[in-house]
Amino acid sequence: TGARSRSPTPSLSSLPEDAPHAKILRLLRVLHKLNVIEAERPEAVKRSLPESAFVNNKLTAKLTRQLEEPMIVASQCLPDWALDLPQHFPFLFPFATRYNFLQSTSFGYARLILKWQSQQTRGQDSSRRDDGVGFLGRLQRQKVRISRKHILESAMKVFELYGSSSSILEVEYFEEVGTGLGPTLEFYSLVSKEFARKDLKIWRDEDPLKSGVHVFHPHGLFPAPISPEDIANDGGQKRTHIFRVVGQFVAKAMLDSRIIDMSFNKIFLRLALGEEVVLTLETLKLVDADLANSLEKLRSLATVRSSGDKMHKVVKDQVNIEDLEVDFTIPGYDIELRPGGKDLTVTSDNVEEYIHEVVEAIVGSGAKLQAQAFREGFSKVFPITDLQAFTIDELVMLFGNSDEDWSPETLSEALKADHGFNVESRAIRSLIEVMTEYDAPSRREYLQFITGSPKLPIGGFRGLNPPLTVVRKPHEPPLTADDYLPSVMTCVNYLKLPEYSSKEVLREKLGVAMREGVGSFHLS
C-alpha cells in the first residue's frame, strides 16, 4: 500500500496526445536522449549539455510541494501530472527530487509517514508539525541473529525468508552484545563483499591470476557466462539463484536506506532494467576493454589480408590469422560458441562471425538469464521499473559506488562537536586535518569504524543520520589522554575522542582503533 501501481508504460492520463505541451515534452525527450548519447561518446571533446540544462525549476518546486503532503501521497490522491512527468520525463527534475518521489511512491505507506515525520523533526518550522501523524505509521522490525563465520550462507537464508518483507531488517551477531544500526550496516557491507567472491564463479574476473578472494572488476561486476551444460541440467537455476538474492539484497538496502558497497557494471544495469543494449565491440569495451581490443586487432589482421596481394605478401611474412589457432570458444572460458566450436578455427573468412558470437555470448544471451534473475529478485521488494526515472550513472551511485567529498569545508560543516568540544577546539581541527589527508583505503577503514559501513550514504557526510558527532573522552589520573584509544557508538555515528597532545598522536591512536576495533560489537 501507499503507492499507486506503476507499470513500465502507463497511459499518460495527464497528457492528451494532441496537446501542444505534450508534443513539446516528447521533443525534449528526444533531445535529451541525443544529449545522453553524445555524453557517452568516448571522444575527448564532447558537445553535450549538462543535465541541469533540462531541469524545469517551476515544475520541480510544484512536485516537491505535492510530495510534502503525506496524506495526499498515502491516499493515492496525487494529481496525474505528478505521477506521469517523473516517470516519463524524469530529466525535468533534479536527482534529489526524483529520489524523493521514489521514496514517497514506491517504499510503502509506513515508510512514507516515518520519512515525513523525520523531516518534520529536523525542520525548523514547528508551526506545521503534527505529532498525531506519527501514530499512523507503524513499521515492523525483523531481528535476525547470524554467525560471522558463515556470513554468505546466513545472508542467503535471511533474504530468502525476509527479503520480500516490508519490515525493517536488523542484524545481530552470535556472542556479541552489539545491536541496532551499527551491526546492521556492517552486515550489508560484509555481504556486499561476499557476493563478489571468486569461488562463487558468477562474475567475470578480468585478472584471474590476481591474488585475493574477490574478483577484479575495474569496470564493475558483470556476470560470467553460463555453460550450456548448466542450462541443460537445471535451466541455469543454480547459477542464477544467487543473482535473484543479490537483486533482493540491493532493493532491500534501498528500502531500508542501508549503504551497500557493490560496484555494478553499467551494461549489466542496463540489461537488468530491460533496456536495449547494442551488441558491438564498443559495448564490449565497457565490460572488458582488453578483450574488445584483442578482437579489434584480430579483425584488422583479416582486413589487411583481404585488402590486396601486395599488402598480403608483406603481412604473410609476419603473421597469419590461422597461425593464432583461435577456436570458436568464449575467451577465458571453456564454453563453445557453437556446437563443435573447439574444432573450428577462426580464419579471415569467418572472423566477423566469431566476433559477433563472442559479443553475443558475453553481453547478449550470456548475461540474459542473470539479468532476468536480478530483476525478478529486485522486484520482489518493489518494482525495478520504478528505477527508470534514474540514469545509469545515478543507479551506480545509489548502489554504493559514488565519489565522496572529504574537503575540509564539507567536514567542518557536517561534523558536530559536543560535550567538551566545539568547532574551534584544537582536537576537532586536528581531526578534520587527519580525515582530509586520508587516502581511499584509509577512508573506508575510518567509515567502517565510525558508522559500520565503508561507504557514505547518499548526500555524503551531510546525509549521515544522526550526524557525525565528536565528544571529548575524559581520562582518569595518573593516566593522560594519550594513554587512551578513541571509541565509537556506530548506531548513532558517535566518536568519543580523547584530547590528545598533538595531531600526530591523534593520527596514530585513531589508526590503531580503526584497525583493531572492527569485526565485533561490544560495549564501549
* Tens of pLDDT, residues 25-74: 999 999 999 998 888 776 666 788 988 999 999 999 999 999 888 888 88
Residue 75: name the closest of 4, 13, 167 by CA.
4
d(CA 346, CA 269): 32
How many other CB atoms are there within 10 angstroms of residue 250's CB atom?
Answer: 26
* Cα gap 383→6, rounded to integer Å: 8
Q: What is the pLDDT along the chain (524 residues), one digit of tens a residue?
A: 344 444 444 456 677 777 888 889 999 999 999 998 888 776 666 788 988 999 999 999 999 999 888 888 888 888 989 998 998 999 999 998 999 899 888 888 777 777 777 766 655 444 455 555 555 557 788 888 888 888 889 989 998 888 888 888 888 888 777 677 778 888 888 898 899 888 888 999 877 777 788 888 888 899 999 887 777 777 678 788 999 999 999 999 888 888 888 889 999 999 999 988 889 998 999 899 889 999 998 888 877 655 555 555 554 456 677 778 888 999 988 888 888 888 898 888 899 999 999 999 999 988 999 999 999 999 999 999 999 899 888 888 887 666 678 888 888 888 888 888 988 899 999 999 999 999 888 888 888 888 877 888 777 787 787 888 999 999 888 899 899 999 888 778 889 999 999 999 999 999 998 888 665 555 44
Other Cβ atoms within 10 Å of 309 Cβ, number = 7
Domains of the chain in sequence order? 20-123 (no CATH), 141-277+366-398 (3.90.1750.10), 283-355 (no CATH), 408-516 (3.30.2410.10)
Choosing from 262, 491, 506, 510, which is the catalytic residue?
491
Measure the N-to-C terminal CA separation of the chain; round to a whole number of Å. 41
Residue 308 Ramachandran class (φ > 0 left, ψ -120 to 50 alpha, else beta): left
- CA dist list (Å): 390 to 68, 102, 334, 423, 466: 21, 10, 37, 37, 27
pTM, two decimals, is 0.79
**Catalytic residue check, 77:** no
Could you give the CA distance from residue 255 to residue 111 in angstroms, rounded to a whole number?
9
Dist CA 243 CA 241 (whole Å): 5
Beta 487-489 vs 494-497: how paired, if at all? antiparallel
375's grid cell = 530483476
